[in-house]
Structure 1
Amino acid sequence: MTNMPDKRAAEATTDADQPPIPPRKEKAPLRARVENLNFYYADGFQALRNVSMPILDRQVTALIGPSGCGKSTLLRCYNRMHDLYPGNRYEGSVILEPEGENLIGPDADPVLVRLRIGMVFQKPNPFPKSIYENVAAGLRVRGVRNRALIDEAVETALRRAAIWDEVKDRLDGSAYDMSGGQQQRLCIARALAPNPEILLLDEPTSALDPIATAKVEDLVQELSKDVTVVIVTHNMQQAARISNRTAFMHIGQLMEFDETSKIFTNPSHPRTEAYITGRYG
């Protein structure tokens, strides 16, 4: 289910007197850029308002902000997840670089977009299949039928997700027999198997214990050497630990985007400072 924003909170507060601070110009290579993005749910509620921000190549970008601020809504625009619910509507663009393709444009195939932009959700959601078939699923959607190629891709994805040694002797076993932390790393492997250009993580450790959380955080940092990662988190300590850039959102607006160290030590927007110091949120 798509998480619906808190409309009452949105209606009760406005930032008309404090316009969002525009993202700074970046020298690092871009993997994607959001431009003037608005998003409307089927009931007409506007969840995102003129969001513009870069996603830098092979870095971890964290999206933070209070509940209902639009973090997950923005994340799901990147891979057209909102298309699964009739009546939802985008305005603006999400450009994948260097191709310059608008991922939310009318010519973009949502199924192919989801293969190029992988996603892992808050709670582990393995398919009711074997470990092997979970990881192979995206490859089969792409039309790969050669067993040797699938075998190699499955092993590579499981290794990249740091779980190969734990499951290599039971690939035919049910994914449901794995622990919660293992299931989440399996879902990461499943997203990695089609070799995505961006990996989206929507609060991937919120349902995990501290040990499993640490493993996933270590994994995210390792993966960012090869793949661009965007993560939504309510855990500000987690954002500070693992991200290179942080975006702070409030009531559907991007209030501030900068290097993570600056966001947490010297934020430019008063609402950012209020949030990270715990005065609200």
Structure 2
Amino acid sequence: MSHRAVVEGLNFHYGTFQALKDVNLAIADRQVTALIGPSGCGKSTLLRCFNRMHDLYPGNRYEGRIQLYPENLNIVGDEVDPMQIRLRIGMVFQKPNPFPKSIFDNVASGLLIRGISNRKVVAERVELALRQAALWDEVKDRLNQSAYGLSGGQQQRLCIARALAPNPEMILFDEPTSALDPIATARIEELVDELRRDYTIVIVTHNMQQAARISNFTAFMHLGHMVEYGSTLEFFTNPKNEKTHEYITGRFG
């Protein structure tokens, strides 16, 4: 099994507060890795390291490495351009966050940053991304209308299409269904299952049942530490760490 990224000795500080402590983790290529743990354990902090989202705020700093393969690039290295990393590693947030633009322009936004301006190419890529996000048939007749006219579930699939359009290698999902109803949640889970064929996916979820349903690998975090990581089946049926066992049986968190 090949890896798309490997986290090595990663520490992360919000100012003087250390949120991640010597985290090590291998992310399998074209598989779904779930990050679980109680609130404040560091799972969203770790996720946002993968596309340098923390650089948007002053006083944050990384120590250690996240190696992106095959070129063995350290994502959190000072010499790396965070904007280029964000095009290669897309992100979908907890609440749908479409731009105040048309449906078409939302999806096209990353292509323009990549320097793709040929109208025919842009239109083809937008259609492909909307099809990959299982949204094309619902919006193809209103591409020039505001994205705010879509339902919550449709807006989240639009944000997935926006992340897919620049053709990333990895997609990060930060609790992508926590603001959605059960039907919209099921659509997103089906979509994640389809996307794993072409993309490496890392998903933060507070829902252990969701992690068990959609991930190949599960990592459990607590107080900034990586407690346990393994195949999802093994993780939930035969956890190696007592703290993991306590968490998945509901004794804390």
TM range (shorter): over 0.9
Q: TM-score, normalised by structure 1?
A: 0.90
Give, in angstroms, the shift of residue 33 of structure 1: 0.5
Task: Provide the C-alpha distance between the structure 1 equivalents of 2:128 and 2:67, rounded to a whole number of angstroms.
Answer: 28
Give the counterpart letter for 1:63 in structure 2: L
* Residue 88 of structure 1: aligned partner: 60
* Residue 242 of structure 2: aligned partner: 270
Query: Are residues 1:35 and 2:35 paired?
Result: no
Give, in angstroms, the shift of residue 185 of structure 1: 0.2
Query: Are residues 1:248 and 2:220 paired?
Result: yes
Give, in angstroms, the shift of residue 106 of structure 1: 1.1
Task: Provide the C-alpha distance between the structure 1 equivalents of 2:66 and 2:89, rounded to a whole number of angstroms.
Answer: 12
Task: Provide the C-alpha distance between the structure 2 equivalents of 1:240 and 1:271, rounded to a whole number of angstroms.
Answer: 18
Q: How does 1:153-172 map to 2 (within 5 A)?
A: 153-172=125-144
SS in 2 for 1:274: helix
Q: How does 1:126-165 map to 2 (within 5 A)?
A: 126-165=98-137
The total of aligned residue pairs comes to 253
* Residue 103 of structure 1: aligned partner: 75
SS in 2 for 1:254: strand
Segments of structure 1 that go 5 or more residues without pairing to the other structure are 1-27
Give, in angstroms, the shift of residue 198 of structure 1: 0.4
Task: Provide the C-alpha distance between the structure 1 equivalents of 2:37 and 2:234, rounded to a whole number of angstroms.
Answer: 16
* Residue 191 of structure 1: aligned partner: 163
Task: Provide the C-alpha distance between the structure 2 equivalents of 1:50 and 1:221, rounded to a whole number of angstroms.
Answer: 30
Give, in angstroms, the shift of residue 107 of structure 1: 1.2
- Equivalent of 1:69 in 9, 18, 41: 41
Q: TM-score, normalised by structure 2?
A: 1.00
CA deviation vs aligned residue, 1:176-232 (integer Å, no higher than 9, x gap): 000000000000000000000100000000000000000000000100000000000
Task: Provide the C-alpha distance between the structure 2 equivalents of 1:218 and 1:145, rounded to a whole number of angstroms.
Answer: 32
Give the counterpart letter for 2:172 in structure 1: L
- Equivalent of 2:196 in 203, 224, 228: 224
Aligned sequence identity (%): 70
Task: Provide the C-alpha distance between the structure 2 equivalents of 1:276 and 1:234, rounded to a whole number of angstroms.
Answer: 11
